[in-house]
Structure formats: C-alpha cells, structure tokens
Amino acid sequence: MKIRTCALFALSGFLHAQNVPPPANREAAVTPVPFDRILNASQKEPQNWLTYSGGFSSQRHSELTQITPENAKDLTLKWVFQARSLEKHEVTPLVVDGVMYTVQGINDVVALNAVTGKTIWTHAYKPSPDARNCCGQETRGLAILGDKLFLAALDTHMIALDAKTGKEIWNVQVADPKEKYSFTHAPLIIKDKVIEGTAGGEFGIRGFIVALDANTGKEAWRFYTVPGPGEPGHETWAGDSWMHGGASVWVTGSYDPATNLTFWGIGNPGPDWNGDARLGDNLYSCSVVALDADTGKLKWYYQFSPHNEFDWDSTQVPVLADMQWKGSPRKVMLWANRSGMFYVLDRTTGEFLLGKPFVKVNWNTGFDEKGRPIRAPGIVPSKEGTLVYPGNQGATNWYNPSYSPQTGLFYIPTWENSSSTYVKDQEPPEFHSGQTFSGAFPKGGSTGDDFYSSIRAIDPKTGEKKWDYKLSAPSTEAGILTTTSNVLFSGGRDGAFYALDARDGKLLWETNLGPSVSSGPMTFSVDGKQYVSVQAGPSLFTFSLR
C-alpha cells in the first residue's frame, strides 16, 4: 500500500517556532561521550547516532527494530527543522541522549530537541569570504567527543564547541582558503584525535588529511594525498605536476580498531579531464588509503582508476564488514566506485579480492594479477568525444551505500548513465592560484532506457545483483539506511522519501518532501520510540510511527 504524506503542509506551522532564538541560559542535557561510547555505539547504544555514518564501520545499519516491514506504512511526520539558508544541505545529524546536532548552511551549528525539533542553541559561524568550493557551499556533518562538538568549516577552520551550550572552546585554521582549500565533510574522531581531509582539487590544491589533538587543536600528523619528492608514489607524477595534483577528500573515512587503521577515499587528480601534463598513475588520487590512526603513516593503498581523466574520483565512504570469504572468515572492505565497479578488498592488507561491474561499463576488460584495472582499447579522451559508461557523474557518488549483516546484502544508490564526452580539445591548463584548474568539461549524456537511477542490492561475495528498485528521478543524491528489522530507507531528487523491504526491494511506504532528498537517512530512539530523519533541501524532516 502506497501512503503519501504532504510534508510541505507542516512547514508553515514549524517555520516560526524553529527559528525563535532560545533563552541564552538553556543547555543541552547531554552526558559526555568518551571514545569508548563511540567505539561501541552501534551495538551497545543504537538509540543514538554518534558518528556521521552511525559507526566506525560505516555500514549505515541500525540495530533498531521498532519500525518493521509490517508497520512502516504507519510512519508519519513528527517535526520539520527549516534552515535559515538556501545553500546546499547534505547533512547527516548526530543524536546523543535525545539531543540532535546538525548544521544549517553554511556553517551554523544547531542543537535541537530530537523529539520535538525545538531549537536548544545555535552557534553561528560565517566562514571567510575567500572560502569557495566547486560543488556547493556545504558541510556534511559534525563529530562529538567528550563534551565537545567539532565543526570542520568551509574555510578550513576546525572549531571545537561546548556540546551543552554551543560556546566556542578552540578554533584552528588548517589551510589557506585564499588558495581554495576547503572542508566539506564531517570530522572523524579516533581516540584523542579529530581527523579531516581537504577539498579543493578543482583549484589545484595539493590535498592532505590532518589529525588534530581534540583537546587543544594542535596538529598531530598530516598525510599528503599527493606524495612529494622523496615520498613513495612521487614518481607517478610527471615533472612538478604533483604540486597542484588535487586528490581531495570529500567524505568521512572509516576506522578499524582491531588494526588501528583508518581508511579514506581520495578524489580525482588535477587538472581533471586532461592528463597530458601529469603523466603517470597519479597516486594517491582515485584511491583508498589505509593510514595508521596514531601516526598518519601509510600502510597500504589501492588505486581504483590509475591516471584518471574521467572524473571518477573515489569520493565514497569505505564500508567495513566481517564475513565468510571462500569458506574462511575475512575482514573486508566493500566499495562501490564511481567508475561503475564494485570491489572487495582485504582491509588488513589491501589485497584485491573481487572487482565486478554493478552498472553498464565499457571501459574495463578485467584486472591483472595484482588487481590493477585494465582499460578497454579506445576508451580514452578524444577531440571527437568518446562514449563512456558510466558518464561524468559516475555510477554512484558521495552519497552513502549500506551493508546489512542481517540480509548479507550491499545496497548502492546507483545511476545508469553515460557521456559521449571527455573531449580533450585544448592544451593542458596552466595553474593560477585561486582559479579553476581543469581540462575541457565533458559534454552530452545518456538518454532512453539506459539512463535511470535505482537502489541496487548486490551480493558482496559475488557482485551479483539481487534486486533493483527503480527511481522516478534520473539521478539521486540520497544515501541509504538499513535496519535489523529489514527496513531500508532512501530517497530521490524528485523529493520522494520511502521505505523498502531490504530483503526484496518491495515498496513499504512513500511520501514526498518537495526538494531533493540530499543526505543519508539516519535513525535514533528516545524513550523507546524510534525516529527516522532525513535532509531534503534546506529542511530536516523527522518521522516515527503513529
């Protein structure tokens, strides 16, 4: 049965209430969140959502079971928070003991009552006018440790706030926004460190990941995603192209406490779409890197797209799982890449275990004995344009997948598309500080039956598709959430927000929120009642059962 709720009617009644400043002496009644709580949150306190991805494994899977395939049809809107900004909003909020923390564009941190949506406090932060991002002025979330909240602001300031009052504790600038370095993702907390990566590859930055002391803001370590002279991988950049090699970090990484490794997806090399001036594999662009969480030292890497000229950056969240692999238990990493290939890697060693298309792909003919992808003949940029599957936006992007240990399936927000594109009709661009640094933008795209989006469920042990739920909109920015009760939540660019049966993709419930659903749904519980929240445009919608 399809249920449609017009959430927009609720907006007018909430707008005024949500934006009335609270009394200055109000506090969020939150107990401290030591690292042990974050480490065990997904199992020991599923009522909370303590990290961007719900847990260090980034499975976006919740143990909450009150909402089921049988009663999902009874979901109803409870409250809406309307941001005071029309900037892009791609935020996944945190929930700690009944208090929700979110961001309204660009960098205002807001604490809300998670049951009513009522504002508790707001910390307003206006980033430097020099701050700029190629793809929207946004911050995708926050981190919490102890009694501090952490905001990675667009202008590369890391800011620690008092979680109870929103007052600033410390503020550290990590890079120069005049050079178009920026922060776009939620920080990752590991032990006593807060970790963040830089964006700005489209402006010729040299990307890096940085760890700061959570108590003081002092830098603990820095890992450059483009290796310099004397560093392993530097030889993969021709001449001095490494100096402006890009390799941004767009989304939050993952962490494996058993090996003390933290994993991060790395963006495209610069300049994009034209690699003539950066011959070589261009490490560690379009890769996943595994770093020692205490020192930032590289332990292993895998490059999904060597010398990429198709904008297939690895701007995905590494998903960690423990499963039986060919009859033996194995610690694996699951990765649906923008290039259209699904991968399984051993997350302890980086060993390549499986690579298989999850959409139509025409650029890959297989892998060599070390797991390096083999490009099909003729699939290279050309002045005439070369038809490539998938196209410029990729088969998936920054929006999160989900892995359900309950079903054993991996769920991917999928886009079947192509570009008769990647036209290389100009000389390699020259670098000018603060200006766009890229090749000719691709042109054209798919039409017809091979151009659509879906939620795709695959068996990660084989890469085989198990089911598809086709979306009305041709593309998506919504992530996926699964629960132990076998409910899957996601949305679409047409404003649809829905619940599916995670076992077979059957539609259980649907509503329309108006704007594009633009984040990964999350779930939490207060006083035994389960809620689901999702961002659509500038509004945060929260649902529960009647």
Provide the annotated active-site residues: 311
Is the CB of residue 313 less than 8 Å from the CB of residue 266? yes
Both tokens assigned to 273: 């779409």
Q: Could you tell me which of 535, 545, 409, 531 has the C-alpha nearest to residue 64?
A: 531
Both tokens assigned to 338: 């923008």
Q: Could you tell me which of 172, 200, 304, 186 has the C-alpha nearest to residue 253?
A: 186
Q: Could you tell me which of 394, 161, 185, 441 has the C-alpha nearest to residue 286?
A: 394
8-state DSSP, 49: B
Is the CB of residue 510 less than 8 Å from the CB of residue 494? no
Distance (Å, rounded) from C-alpha 342 to C-alpha 336?
4
Distance (Å, rounded) from C-alpha 546 to C-alpha 542?
13
Measure CA 34 to chain center.
24
Distance (Å, rounded) from C-alpha 350 to C-alpha 313?
18
Query: Is the peptide bond prior to 531 cis by the omega test (within 30 degrees of 0)?
Result: no
Measure CA 449 to chain center.
28
Residue 511: CA count within 13 A, CB half-sphere? 19
Both tokens assigned to 43: 């199992």
Question: Which run of H or E residues covers position 10?
Answer: helix 8-19
Is the four-CA dihedral 60, 61, 63, 66 of positive or negative sign? Answer: positive
Distance (Å, rounded) from C-alpha 87 to C-alpha 136?
7
Distance (Å, rounded) from C-alpha 48 to C-alpha 166?
20
Own/partner pairs, 241-244, CB within 8 angstroms, 24+ separation: 241/277, 241/278, 241/279, 242/206, 243/206, 243/431, 244/204, 244/205, 244/206, 244/270, 244/431, 244/437
**Burial class, 29, CB count within 10 angstroms (exposed 0-12 / middle 13-18 / buried 19+):** exposed
Is the CB of residue 364 less than 8 Å from the CB of residue 341? yes
Is the CB of residue 237 less than 8 Å from the CB of residue 288? no
Question: Which run of H or E residues covers position 43?
Answer: helix 41-44
Distance (Å, rounded) from C-alpha 278 to C-alpha 237?
6
Is the CB of residue 429 less than 8 Å from the CB of residue 388? no
Q: What pairing do the DSSP bridges indicate for beta strands 409-416 and 402-404?
A: antiparallel
How many residues make up the chain in this entry? 546
User: Residue 116 phi/psi, 5° resolution?
Assistant: -110, -20
